[in-house]
Amino acid sequence: MSDVSRPLRIAILAHSTNPRGGVVHALELGDALARLGHDVVLHAPDAAGNGFFRAAHCATACIPASPAGTGTLNLVQTRVRDYCAYFAPSARRGFDIWHAQDGISGNALANLAGQRLIAGFVRTVHHVDSFADAQLAALQRRAITAAGGLLAVSRVWQDWLQHNLGRDAAVIGNGVDVDRYSPRPGVGDAELGARLGLTTGSPMFLAVGGVEARKNTLRILAAFRAVYENGSTLVIAGGASLLDHGAYQARFAAVLAQTNLPSEAVVLAGPLPDRLMPALYRAATTLVFPSLKEGFGLVVLEAMASGVPVVAPRIAPFTEYLGAQDVAWCDPDDTGSIAAAMRASRDASRRADLVASGLRIAAGFTWERVARAHLPTYTAMLETAGA
């Protein structure tokens, strides 16, 4: 079953029900742990009242979300209170392991631990944001330092935790479902093409994560302008974030309006239904992902499993698990370098090698392996609590 001697009852807490990388990770982890025989409940505040972005194999609990007002600080503080109110009844606290995936749930569990309502909690650090607001920065730090056990999705953040906080963390990585994400045609392909107005046979460059500074979207747009040819498309998908990216998005819109690109050349797809995500990757010529900061870069694995070449930045964490010939590397601070990598990804001979490398790499990143990597930390938490 697993490396622990008995099934565990595990509460995993995410910041929302939206399809962001950390929430995808939490959901896949919960499903994988459940398949190993553990009793898992995935929790998240559900502001829209629509439930999680896709059905889960593990149990789920949608936390009632109160009106949060304006500003990120208000949102964080409100969601922390929502979580604490939800877990106030003892009947909702019958778990062996409490596992926070983000700063919101980490602060909520820190509050519960401070009130001695739970023995402690585990925290996964996907990445650490740079907040100008001192209160947000302090809350982010507390959500990490208050945890009894720490996990990181890559070595770069493992090193950050040791260097900046003096804390050890186990690296648990990420995974991909190669049955779901694959080059094989699927039922969503035609629906996606019609929805986005894609032209069969024309180059489609895909950016995932929405319009955000961290995703380097302005440079992606500039690089696309440099490689544009008649009929090619840049699709920017995703963007369901709790943070306020309004200023950057306004700047992007102004730049886009000043380009001489045809209106249909840049498609702002926004968050797509989960059933269409495998089709989205399959439709792409190249995933363009020159992100400036990532925890791991889960979308890289999803594209690779789908048989799609990837443009990636030559920085950690990507350099931790990708070799010299596995992707079209770029300097994320250099638009010309991004454009050159986009062109390289379309070269016929290079493309075949990139696809073969991607499929091989994706096959080695299973969610079962990720789930099993959590068990030593869970066991240590049980021993500390005297379970």
Same domain, 334 and 375: no
Which CATH number does the domain housing residue 313 bear?
A: 3.40.50.2000
Same domain, 238 and 353: yes
- What is the model's pLDDT at position 230? 84
Has residue 351 been placed in a domain? yes
Same domain, 127 and 44: yes
- What is the model's pLDDT at position 203? 92
3-state helix, strand, coil in the chain (%, to 5): 45, 15, 40
Report yes or no: 383 and 319 within 8 Å, Cβ to Cβ. no
Same domain, 104 and 149: yes
* Distance, CA of 313 to CA of 334 (rounded, Å): 10
Same domain, 104 and 131: yes
* Distance, CA of 29 to CA of 244 (rounded, Å): 27
Report yes or no: 358 and 307 within 8 Å, Cβ to Cβ. yes
- What is the model's pLDDT at position 240? 65
Same domain, 245 and 340: yes
Has residue 2 been placed in a domain? no
pTM: 0.92
Has residue 18 been placed in a domain? yes
Rg (CA), the chain: 21
Same domain, 159 and 145: yes
- What is the model's pLDDT at position 1? 38
Same domain, 47 and 79: yes
Same domain, 243 and 293: yes
Q: Which domain holds residue 293?
A: 189-363
Has residue 180 been placed in a domain? no
Instruction: State the total domains in the chain.
Output: 2
Other beta carbons less than 10 A from residue 353's beta carbon = 13
Same domain, 358 and 372: no
Has residue 3 been placed in a domain? no
CA 140-100-290 angle, 5° bins: 65
Largest CA distance in the chain: 66
Per-residue pLDDT of the chain (387 residues; tens, 9 = 90+): 344 668 999 999 999 999 888 899 999 999 999 999 999 999 999 988 999 999 999 999 999 999 987 888 999 999 999 999 999 999 999 999 999 999 999 999 999 999 999 999 999 999 999 888 999 999 999 999 999 999 999 999 999 999 999 999 999 999 999 999 999 998 888 899 889 888 777 899 999 999 999 999 999 999 999 999 888 999 999 876 666 778 999 999 999 999 989 989 999 998 898 899 999 999 999 999 999 999 999 999 999 999 999 999 999 999 999 999 999 999 999 999 999 999 999 999 899 999 999 999 999 999 999 999 999 999 999 988 764
Same domain, 240 and 333: yes
Q: Which ranges in the chain belong to alpha helices (H)?
A: 21-35, 72-86, 103-114, 134-145, 155-165, 189-196, 217-227, 246-258, 277-283, 298-305, 318-321, 335-344, 348-363, 367-385
Locus of tokens 């369901």: 240
Same domain, 291 and 327: yes
Other beta carbons less than 10 A from residue 97's beta carbon = 27
Has residue 104 been placed in a domain? yes
Has residue 88 been placed in a domain? yes
Has residue 183 been placed in a domain? no
